[in-house]
Amino acid sequence: MWGLVLLGYVLFVIEWFVIDFIRGSAASLLTEQTSAVPQYGGWFSSFFVADAGFIPGQATNWTITLLRAVGSILCGVMVVKFGYRHAVMIMMGLMCVCFPFLIIGSPLGGHNELTLLRPASSEVISKLTKISSSLQQGQLLGPVQVGSQTMLADGTPVSLIKGINGNEIGTSASMTGYAFFIIFRSTIAIGGTTLIAYAQPIIASLSSNRKKSILSNANFWGFNVGLVIVAAPFLIPGVGRFATANWVWVVTFMILLVFAMLLVFAWFEKKVDHMLPQKQSKTNQSLSVRPSALSILKRKTTWKLLAIAGVGTILLINPLTQTWFNSLLAISGAKKAIIPTARPILLILWVMGYLLGYFLLSPFNKTIYDKKRWLHFIFTANAVLVLLIVIFAATLGLNTVVGFTFVGIFTFIAGGFGWSLGSSILILPYEYKEYKRNEVSIIFGYVWGFAYVFYSIFDIITSVFLDAPRIATGNTSANILPGAIAAIVLFVSLLLVINWVIIYLPSSWIKNGDECVSEMTKKWRITQWQFLIANKAKNRYADLLK
């Protein structure tokens, strides 16, 4: 059952990153001087003739991330309102109702008024003198500019809207289409994000704290495996070109997979629904204590947990972003990395670092050590590793074999520490005295929801930092090094400052259901790594395990 929910989350991650990878490029504005027949692919060419700039591009991600936050916060309330089974099915269904964005983003043979591509008329073809002999009447083309006149390929006159960077980016109709495209795409994000929170009530129903630790740690496999499945094939240029050219069919296939997953879950979950949180009717509300979402949010421990989860989420997501990669390029003084696939390779190394963390660091979560010192160690180690990545990028550069190799190695190591930190944070609600099992779905809804809010704020600030030199000078090719340095300093500072919050965390407890058995008072020292070989009752370190 836990595996089904996690598989649904894996499908979400795959679908989400596939849509990002098959984005394609802008349609570009055709003129009399255009010397090559354009090749259109991906959904971006349906709406834009030029890039709108870094900040507007990031603003789309901010909007979607904030919507994911809202969905995550509400997911716990939905369990109380509809019961676990129906709450999960609603969110899987929400992922499926995104399908209108396929229609909105497809040119539909040039008949979609919300896109820029139109069947070329003979009159327009004759004006594109350098490529007219290579064009056919009815061929899909983007907007054309002849002199001061701008028109669609079918001859319809249009006016282009300027973006924040001064570029003419599209028509009012295509911008409207893009807005609808993002709205329906957001349903994938809202529905998919909540599934990782819905894996937690299943874990909470387990009697063994050790099993809870193992499955909480394994939850991250969903994201990491999904990203690797997407990124690895795109290292082959032919795969990327094919997927981008056929993006509608690729995404349609993904939506059908999610729908199939919904049907499988509905069939299987019906057999075990009685074991999980049920809808709170007036009758059973009077027989049991109903968890209050507001009362949980008012607790000081909740906000401490949210702060730590927020910084942890920033740590996990930031190295996956274009902002981080651009920052590394800026401090290395290079316009581009040594190989075109540098960013996908670093993405894969970061998420594959989870393997290192899973076997080397995450076993700590199964011990009876107090978690505070461990959290101090992991956050501080991550700050040091991030600084090492920055130092290697600045001194050796991303445009050299040696520099990229060292950045890649330490990205993998930092990923191990980062993902193990995530699993350490997720185990905390199960060990805190004041949280009960029937509150788990609400708590993790808050954890994921507010974590995305904190990350969105961080992403907005760092994106503004990075683009500030260009905006201030009005020069789109201005050096972004000052902004990159500011973004890196903020990133490292958060990893260090959060140690102050950790000091005030409550103690962890060994629990049997909601019963607190014993407080975890054993203090961990950096020289104590016996938990790596402890295996229940088979050796002298078994007392370290729960």
C-alpha distances in angstroms, 126 versus 16, 23, 27?
Answer: 41, 31, 20
- Whether domain 293-521 has CATH 1.10.357: no
pLDDT score at 337 = 77
pLDDT band at 269 (very low <50, low <70, confident <90, very high): low
Q: Greater confidence, 544 or 326?
A: 326
**Residue 284 banded pLDDT, cuts 50, 70, 90:** very low
Q: Do residues 503 and 323 lie in contact, with contact meaning Cβ atoms separated by under 8 Å?
A: no
Decide which of 1.20.1250, 1.10.150, 3.40.50, 3.90.1480 is the CATH code for 1-120+135-220+231-279: 1.20.1250
**pLDDT category, 286, cuts 50, 70, 90?**
very low
In angstroms, the CA 241 to CA 237 distance is 6
pTM summary value: 0.84
- What's the whole-number mean pLDDT along residues 83-110? 85
What lies within 8 Å, CB to CB, of 500 at 6+ separation is none
Q: How many CA atoms lie within 13 A of 431 on its CB side?
A: 30
Q: What is the pLDDT of residues 201-219, one digit of tens each?
A: 666 666 556 666 666 667 7
Among 98, 94, 104, smallest CA distance to 43 is for 104
Q: Is the pLDDT of residue 477 over 80?
A: no
The 10s digit of each residue's pLDDT in 222-268 is 788 888 888 888 888 788 889 999 999 999 999 999 899 888 888 87
For range 9-13, the mean pLDDT: 86
Greatest CA separation for the chain: 86
Whole-number percent of the chain with pLDDT over 70 = 89
- Check if the beta carbon of residue 199 is closer than 8 Å to that of residue 9: yes
Is the fold of 1-120+135-220+231-279 the same as that of 293-521? yes
Q: Which residue matches tokens 């795109």?
A: 234
Residue 305, pLDDT > 90, answer yes
Indicate the residue type of 279: K
What pLDDT, in 10s, does the model give residues 21-71? 898 888 888 888 888 888 888 999 999 988 877 666 777 777 777 877 877
Burial 186-211 (b: 16+ CB within 10 A, else e): bbbbbbbbbbbbbbbbbbbbbeebee
Q: Which pLDDT belongs to residue 288?
A: 47
Retrieve residue 537's tokens: 């009752």
Burial label for 339, CB within 10 Å (0-12, 13-18, 19+), is: middle
Residue 164 pLDDT exceeds 60: yes
**CB 148, CB 138: distance < 8 Å:** no
Alpha helices by DSSP H, 232-335: 237-245, 247-272, 282-287, 293-298, 300-317, 322-332
For the chain, the domains span: 1-120+135-220+231-279, 293-521
Contact 37, 414 (CB under 8 A): no
Span 403-441, pLDDT tens digits:
999 999 999 999 999 999 988 998 898 889 888 887 877
Q: Which helix (H) or strand (E) holds 454?
A: helix 440-473
